[in-house]
Amino acid sequence: MSEVARQGASGQGTPRKPDNAIKWGDAVTGYLLALPAVVALLYLRVIPAVDALWESFHQRSLFDQTQKMFVGLENYVFLFTQSPTFLQSVKVTLLFVVLTVAVQTVVALALAVLFTQKGWGMSFWRTLVFLPITIPTAVSAVVWGTAFRGDGIINGFLLRLGLDPQPFLASSSQALWSITILASWIGVGYWMVFLIAGLKDIPDEVKEAASLDGAGAFRTFFSITLPLLRRPLAFVVVANTVANFLQFVPAAILTQGGPQDSTRFVMYEIYTQAYVQGDVSLADTQIVLVLCVLLAIVAVQFRLLKAKD
Amino acid sequence: MKHSPTITQTSRSKMQATLAVARLTVAALAFTAISASVGIAQDAALTGADVKGPVTLRMVSCCKPTYFGPAVDEWNKANPDIKIEQEVIPFAQLNDILESRLRSQDSTFDILIVDPPRTAAFAAKRYLKDLTAAFTDKVKDKINPESLNAVTFQNKLYAIPVFNSTQILIYNSDMLEKAGIKPPSIKPEERTTWEQVVADAKTVKEKLKVEYGIGFSQGQSYYQLQPIIMSAGGETGLSGPNNLTPNVNNDAWKKAMSWYGGLFATGIAPRGVPFTQMDAIFTSGKAPFLATSTDRVREFQKQNLKFGVAAFPKFAGGKAYTPCDSFALGLNPYSKHQVQAAKFLEWIGTTKEGGFASAAESPNVPANLLIRDEVSMQMEKAGTNLTGLTDLIKFETSNTCVHRPASVAYIQFETAFTQKNMDIVNGADAATSLDAMQNQLKTDFSRIR
């Protein structure tokens, strides 16, 4: 046996220096592996965010985008005191997020529970519910837009039932709900998958123990399943909130923010400012504000999750 | 004395720093001067004069591949050294995409489609190459002066008009006959009124039990509504120096838009159906009238529909107006092949061959005077009851044509109009919506610097 092998076999006499060298080498490898992600994060997230913050204190000339002047907080003041659309877009977005996250989470949870039961063709139904997420959002929007038309299939169905046809996207009181339905049709299957994974992680023994203790299905769900599902559920709520806060396609394709600004989501507002009005500085100011709101939402939700631990 | 060397060093350092700043300033000034002179030189001349060998140009077009497709194909056959590839973008996204690409000084395309009322904003933002020197003599007497006027900003020509347009009223002859209604006249001097059209539409709807009375092909747009508003006594909506003062909530605007909203509220016009589907509403026999542009004539002829054409109506006691202008082609100021691209523009805009090729599949009114009447005549002859169409097109494009306002803020104006118009169509009060639009425009325009 060689000296080195002997040292290795006995586990004694291993010099400290080679050990440190290995750890240092591991660290270098780790850093190198992380480097592309860090660079991408910096380049794609951090630098644009800092750039948007810097830009928000300026105003560019509409006619020469290379010319800009420092205006301090003027853009922020404008948005909160003069802009005819910004506060409305924030209100609409918050309402939409509350509605959609509630609807999607409850329905996704119900479907996840249903599809983890033993029964015929469960995989098929699960795939069917998941399918809409594989369709591009723009295509889904066009399909639903046709269905929501005054002479569309939904009104045809309502008429068959003897009910009055509805204006849907043409009504300021129904348009947001209509888009909630569309967004939920797309999103429910996706979020359901995370909840199914969470449900499958719950050990059967725990449920069996509850059953032996005389707990019924209802009690088991609320006292065992739901608490143990807290983590995937929290992820679904947080990720879903962020995703719906950034909703854009249905407004751009179906309603252009109308009727009467009832579907003017904040991302559509930002897009309009940047590419229709050509006011990049104001769009960047809105981006900074959206970023702050999203960070606050995520922080609060993670804090709540931590507090429950 | 002890500190003298330090003082001396400090002074020297300061001097060196001052000199360095001075050098930098001089260098910066020189660089600015050079850049400026280069900029002027680039403005005066077209790029690509020194390029030898075959080139492939990229053209950003819009709406339908057929608008410029036949012309591009014919050009490519005859000019293998200057090949053109077309990239077609939907009209709704055209402005946004061009804004984004030109702002980032994208040089990957050479020719762009230009919507004439956006010329002022694009020219002011330096998104279009100034074509005055290269084209002024070439377009004279060959392109409709009204069309040229629409792509001219501060006495500089920024695009070559290819199409012009006007509006007409198309009717379903069979439906009118069955309902016992006399068709409206194609003659401008016998132009019918909106009041009469609505009354007839109601009669047909009730007698023949059809779903609607009239459709508007571009009823979401300022383009189609402008002549209606102006016939009610309104102005363009923008006035004052540089057309930067909105005036959209006066009585005439409110009257016209209330009337228009009323058509949808009473079911005469279809609410909840996208305006892109209005042609289908007419062609499927769900409405007897369609207010539309002349390019529908040949489209409907191809579908073997039986229809008649009337002059675009006016309000009783009001003056007749029709919208005009249509797509032009401009040069990307960042293109490396402007000389080659200009050759295509010259061919399509100022020659008979180019004009006919552009009109082959997109029979809008050509802006090219060499072929305008011939194309109109072809359309007239292809129909059974279209006698007078050529004269109507000629009359409208020369006498009732009203341009959209030339303003650097036109895009904001048009966007706000479309949004408020859609609100009115969907049931919002016209007066309240126009008041809101007025305030919105004032606020938006206050940020223009």
Of A84-93, A182-191, B35-44, B294-303, the one with minimum mean pLDDT is B35-44
Domains located in chain B, CATH noted: 19-164+325-370 (3.40.190.10), 167-323+410-448 (3.40.190.10)
B:70-129 residues touching chain A, CB 8 A cutoff = 95-96, 99-100, 103, 121, 124-126
Mean pLDDT of all residues in A21-32: 84
Pick from A303, A309, A308, A301: nearest CA to A105: A301
Distance separating the N- and C-terminal Cα atoms of chain B? 58
Are B436 and A84 inside 8 Å of each other by CB?
Answer: yes
Of the pLDDT bands very low, low, confident and very high (cuts 50, 70, 90), residue A65 is low
Cα separation of B328 and B403, whole Å?
A: 14
Pick from A97, A108, A103, A102: nearest CA to A229: A108
Sign of CA dihedral B257, B258, B262, B265: positive
Q: Choose the closest CB to B273 out of A78, A83, A149.
A: A149
Are B412 and A257 inside 8 Å of each other by CB?
Answer: no
Percent with pLDDT over 90 in chain A: 52
Scanning B285-429, the segments in alpha helix (DSSP H) are 295-302, 338-350, 352-359, 372-382, 389-395, 410-425
Are A62 and B99 inside 8 Å of each other by CB?
Answer: no
Residue B437 has pLDDT above 80, yes or no: yes
Closest chain B residue to A254 measured between Cα atoms? B274
At B237, the amino acid letter reads: G
How much is the pLDDT for B320? 97
B:398-417 residues touching chain A, CB 8 A cutoff = 408, 411-412, 415
**Cα A132 to Cα A118, A139, A143, A147, A185, distances in angstroms:** 24, 10, 11, 15, 7
Are A84 and B440 inside 8 Å of each other by CB?
Answer: yes
Chosen for mutation from A277, A281, A282 (greatest number of chain B CBs closer than 10 Å) is: A277
SS3 call for A69: strand
Q: Are B447 and A79 in contact (CB under 8 A)?
A: no
How much is the pLDDT for B232? 97
Q: Return phi, psi of residue A70, to 5°.
A: -75, 125
Question: Cα distance from A169 to chain B (closest Cα, Å)?
Answer: 8
User: How do B82-89 and B55-62 pair as beta strands?
Assistant: parallel
Q: Choose the closest CB to A256 out of B99, B126, B419.
A: B419
Q: Which residues are B171's β-sheet partners?
A: B289, B308
Cα separation of A79 and A84, whole Å?
A: 8
Are A150 and B422 inside 8 Å of each other by CB?
Answer: no
Closest chain A residue to B102 measured between Cα atoms? A65
Are B419 and A278 inside 8 Å of each other by CB?
Answer: no
For residue B203, give the DSSP letter.
Answer: H
**Six token digits for residue A140:** 């889904």
Q: List, as one string, the DSSP characters of A172-195.
A: TTTHHHHHHHHHHHHHHHHHHHHH
Q: Are B46 and B338 in contact (CB under 8 A)?
A: yes
Chosen for mutation from B277, B419, B424 (greatest number of chain A CBs closer than 10 Å) is: B419
Mean pLDDT of all residues in B356-365: 81
Of the pLDDT bands very low, low, confident and very high (cuts 50, 70, 90), residue B10 is very low
Scanning A11-162, the segments in alpha helix (DSSP H) are 16-41, 47-55, 74-81, 86-115, 122-130, 137-147, 153-160
Cα separation of A131 and A123, whole Å?
A: 12
Residues of B in contact with A169 (CB under 8 A): 272
Q: Give the number of other Cβ atoms within 10 Å of residue B432's Cβ.
A: 15
Q: Which residues are B170's β-sheet partners?
A: B290, B309
Are B426 and A167 inside 8 Å of each other by CB?
Answer: yes
* pTM of the predicted model over 0.90: no
Of A3-17, A94-108, A221-235, B394-408, the one with minimum mean pLDDT is A3-17
Q: Are A201 and A225 in contact (CB under 8 A)?
A: no
ipTM at complex level:
0.72
Decide if B419 touches A, using CB distance below 8 A.
Answer: yes
Decide if A150 touches B, using CB distance below 8 A.
Answer: yes
**Six token digits for residue B288:** 């007897």
